[in-house]
Structure 1
Amino acid sequence: MASSARTSGEADLALTERLRVEVERAVQRGLKGMELLGAEPPAVGRTPKSVLHRRGTLELVHYHALTDEVYRIPLLIVMAPTNRGYVMDLAPGQSLIEFLLRRGYDVYMMDWHAPRPAERDLGLADYVLDFIPDCIRRVQQDSGETDVNLVSYCAGGMLSLIYLALHPDSPVRNIACFTTPIDFSRMELFRAMADEKAFDVDAFVQKHGLVPAEVVLSGFDALRPAARVAGQIRLWDNLWNDQFVSGFRMMERWGNETLPLPGAYFRDTVKQLLRGNELFKGTLKVRGRPVDLKQVTIPLLHIAAQYDHIVPPACSAPLLDMIGSTDKEEVTLPGGHVSIAAGANAVKRMWPRLDAWLEGRSV
């Protein structure tokens, strides 16, 4: 009987403690919810840097070293034109940029801003034959080194590979890319939205010039229609948790600041990649020049995200077979399209893996 009473008493105490915790969290939710109303957007991209070059939509930055000595070969990060680069530099302790700097890398980034109306005619060719090689030259001049390494994210990886295929004598010595689209037939919903029977891309570009950010964002949202609602529910459940709220708001800001696109680049993407799947088929031409990924012969690391809903692993899987490199590796890590690069799991998984691969290739 005593044992039974003791068990009952312990259960009552446990229930009381749970109720107390839930009441405290409910109070915190209310207080935090009031604080968030009208709050300023969270600060992001705080790692010190200098702007080396700015031309319309393009911004080339150089991050300030955090170590007395740096690796010889500078590192140029190539972002996708739809996204701001600060996802790699959310906050101290949550920044891939800061991590790389503390590991001794000399880090540059090709970041993007909203294109100007006069840039409506920028196409795929402008990114791979102008922006990327121009930035590589500027990194060489600023660093005093001939060799350059690339780290490229999502469509930034695709653009970097096309650039490398068209420049077999490039000074790029190594490339690490993650969530890189290659076989666009695997991006089924995007292909359905771009179907020529339902969407006249020429008329759309002619009318708008620049593709509004809302159109780009709606395409991503369509892949997971309930994601925003689910995100708000998670936020409410965790309003008592300052760390969760801070991380959520930074990622929400980044998602909301998705960039518009030059109309010509959007048209090239729809016609040549989504509809024609020309990169995968080997029929892609840029200003009449054939793009043969076998011309990419430098060491390559590709990191795929196991739960990527934007670039599923099957979309990037053909990459290793298609390039001509002998030193090549693909790693699939748990995570989604964004969490593979930013967030708590990235800190533990992707960042150390990237560092281990780059370390011996940066001297």
Structure 2
Amino acid sequence: MSEAEQLSPEAVAERVRREIDRAMKRNIKGLDFLTAPRQDVGAMAKELVHREGTAMLYRYRPVMDEIYRVPLLIVSPPSNKGYIFDLAPGQSMVEYLLGRGYDVFNLDWAPPRRDEAHLGLGDYVDRFIPDCLATIARITGESEVSLSGYCMGGTLATIHAALHAGNGVRNLVLFATPVDFTHMHLFQKWSDRRHFDLDEVVDKLGIIPPEIMMGAFDLARPANRTAGRMHLWTNMWNDEFVRSYRMFDRWAAETLPVPGEYFREQIRYLMWDNALHEGTLEIGGRKALLSAIKVPILNIIAQHDHVVSLEAARPLRDRTGCTDYHEIVSKGGHVSLVAGPAALRRLWPHIDGWLAERSV
């Protein structure tokens, strides 16, 4: 007997009414979606406290009378805007951390100018991050910070910690951070050196436009965007779903260009040579050795991350000199670690519990 035959006439009628109601809402709200302005993002008040080239350091206004002694600096990926950490009330990691008494800073990025095409990995880990740490020390009077980063922002934070061991970093908190780039399967296929002429791309373009980065995702998962639109249409009746979709869609659409030299070094040294993992990465004549990192590490990995796999992020456990290592493998995908109501319920309380006892 089929499911429909088992249902009572009343249950069938209720299901039909529900589907008709949703179909009507989809069509009515679909027109609203097409004509709506961009979804507002950002929940918490912040102040620009330092600006150097493409680097912008923001301090979020504390909301608690008492805050932890050790400030928290979150490094955004250079290709993405930092408001992913502060999408909206109830979906903001910054809002959550401020409410728990943390002094939160965010290193965000402006689109590089044409004359900034020469900026490389060294500028990010040896200039921008240290200058932000110096600014934080001047503002707060504290010489130590908890350094955090998401995706390539986490990789930059890790490289900085390896180069500047024992110099101002109290804790390292990483979200979906690649370390072993041989397991960055999506980008390994896209940047295969057999057909990817890296120098030609960088030398001709100077600044790498966001379309090139977005193209990597579309090439590796060609049906992903179509599937996302179909999922949106199915849930068009759900105002909360549509609101979240529009916020994430805006963030993805506002992918940033990156300096050509940074792009070249990222592909050549990290993707092709796997130099960070292998201990051969040199910045300014010094090797960035993971074994030099001895501060406490909280490594947060997404179980179903199609960008940064578990294998790409997990080597921090064995490659660093850390004796206070904690790892969280969270359900969900790449973005769900740093944004959304699910992270608020499942993940962020664990981060608070770990960080609180190491921030006094």
Alignment TM class, shorter chain as reference: over 0.9
Q: How many residues align?
A: 357
- After TM superposition, give the deviation of residue 207 of structure 1 in Å: 0.5
Could you say which residue in structure 1 is the equivalent of 2:42?
A: 45
Secondary structure of 1:353's aligned partner? helix
Letter in 2 for 1:293: L
- After TM superposition, give the deviation of residue 347 of structure 1 in Å: 1.2
Against the structure 1 CA distance between its residues 268 and 360, is the aligned structure 2 distance closer, same or farther, given a 3 Å change threshold?
same
Secondary structure of 1:77's aligned partner? strand
Residue pair 2:305, 2:333 contacting (<8 A) in 1 also: yes
Could you say which residue in structure 2 is the equivalent of 1:347?
A: 344
5 Å-filtered alignment, 1:202-221, equals: 202-221=199-218
1:287 and 2:284 correspond:
yes
Q: Which of the residues 21, 25, 43 maps onto 1:24?
A: 21
Partner Cα distance (2:326, 2:33) in 1: 44
Against the structure 1 CA distance between its residues 216 and 9, is the aligned structure 2 distance closer, same or farther, given a 3 Å change threshold?
closer
Partner Cα distance (1:334, 1:128) in 2: 30
Q: Which of the residues 242, 245, 249 maps onto 1:248?
A: 245
Residue pair 1:73, 1:148 contacting (<8 A) in 2 also: yes
Secondary structure of 1:87's aligned partner? helix
Could you say which residue in structure 2 is the equivalent of 1:119?
A: 116
Letter in 2 for 1:76: L
Q: TM-score of the superposition, structure 2-length normalised?
A: 0.96
Could you say which residue in structure 1 is the equivalent of 2:91?
A: 94
Secondary structure of 2:172's aligned partner? strand
Against the structure 1 CA distance between its residues 11 and 283, is the aligned structure 2 distance closer, same or farther, given a 3 Å change threshold?
same
- After TM superposition, give the deviation of residue 340 of structure 1 in Å: 2.0
Residue pair 1:87, 1:254 contacting (<8 A) in 2 also: yes
5 Å-filtered alignment, 1:310-325, equals: 310-325=307-322
5 Å-filtered alignment, 1:258-273, equals: 258-273=255-270
Identity of aligned residues (%): 47
Q: Which of the residues 70, 75, 87 maps onto 2:67?
A: 70
1:192 and 2:202 correspond:
no
- After TM superposition, give the deviation of residue 117 of structure 1 in Å: 1.0
Could you say which residue in structure 2 is the equivalent of 1:176?
A: 173
Against the structure 1 CA distance between its residues 359 and 65, is the aligned structure 2 distance closer, same or farther, given a 3 Å change threshold?
same
Residue pair 2:97, 2:104 contacting (<8 A) in 1 also: yes
Could you say which residue in structure 2 is the equivalent of 1:326?
A: 323
Q: Which of the residues 222, 245, 248 maps onto 1:225?
A: 222
- Segments of structure 1 that go 5 or more residues without pairing to the other structure are 1-6
- After TM superposition, give the deviation of residue 100 of structure 1 in Å: 0.2
1:236 and 2:220 correspond:
no
- After TM superposition, give the deviation of residue 189 of structure 1 in Å: 3.4
Shifted more, 7-16 versus 218-227: the winner is 7-16
Q: Which of the residues 70, 78, 82 maps onto 1:85?
A: 82
Partner Cα distance (2:57, 2:271) in 1: 28
Letter in 2 for 1:190: F
Q: TM-score of the superposition, structure 1-length normalised?
A: 0.95
Residue pair 2:176, 2:334 contacting (<8 A) in 1 also: yes
5 Å-filtered alignment, 1:125-164, equals: 125-164=122-161
Residue pair 1:306, 1:313 contacting (<8 A) in 2 also: yes
Partner Cα distance (1:10, 1:286) in 2: 68
1:305 and 2:302 correspond:
yes
RMSD of aligned alpha carbons: 1.5
Secondary structure of 1:41's aligned partner? coil
Residue pair 1:223, 1:309 contacting (<8 A) in 2 also: no
Partner Cα distance (1:125, 1:303) in 2: 25
Partner Cα distance (1:137, 1:267) in 2: 28
Deviations 1:53-85 (A, max 9, x none): 123321100001111111111111111111111
Residue pair 1:296, 1:324 contacting (<8 A) in 2 also: yes
Q: Which of the residues 107, 111, 119 maps onto 1:110?
A: 107
Partner Cα distance (1:316, 1:168) in 2: 20
- After TM superposition, give the deviation of residue 166 of structure 1 in Å: 0.9
Residue pair 1:79, 1:153 contacting (<8 A) in 2 also: yes
Larger Rg: 1
Partner Cα distance (1:91, 1:105) in 2: 18
- After TM superposition, give the deviation of residue 132 of structure 1 in Å: 0.4
Deviations 1:86-135 (A, max 9, x none): 11111001100000000010100001121111110000010000000000
- Segments of structure 2 that go 5 or more residues without pairing to the other structure are none
Shifted more, 83-92 versus 52-61: the winner is 52-61
Deviations 1:140-198 (A, max 9, x none): 11112112111211111111111111112311111111111111111133123222221
Partner Cα distance (1:230, 1:184) in 2: 27
Shifted more, 122-131 versus 137-146: the winner is 137-146
Partner Cα distance (2:49, 2:219) in 1: 37
Shifted more, 95-104 versus 32-41: the winner is 32-41
Secondary structure of 1:61's aligned partner? strand
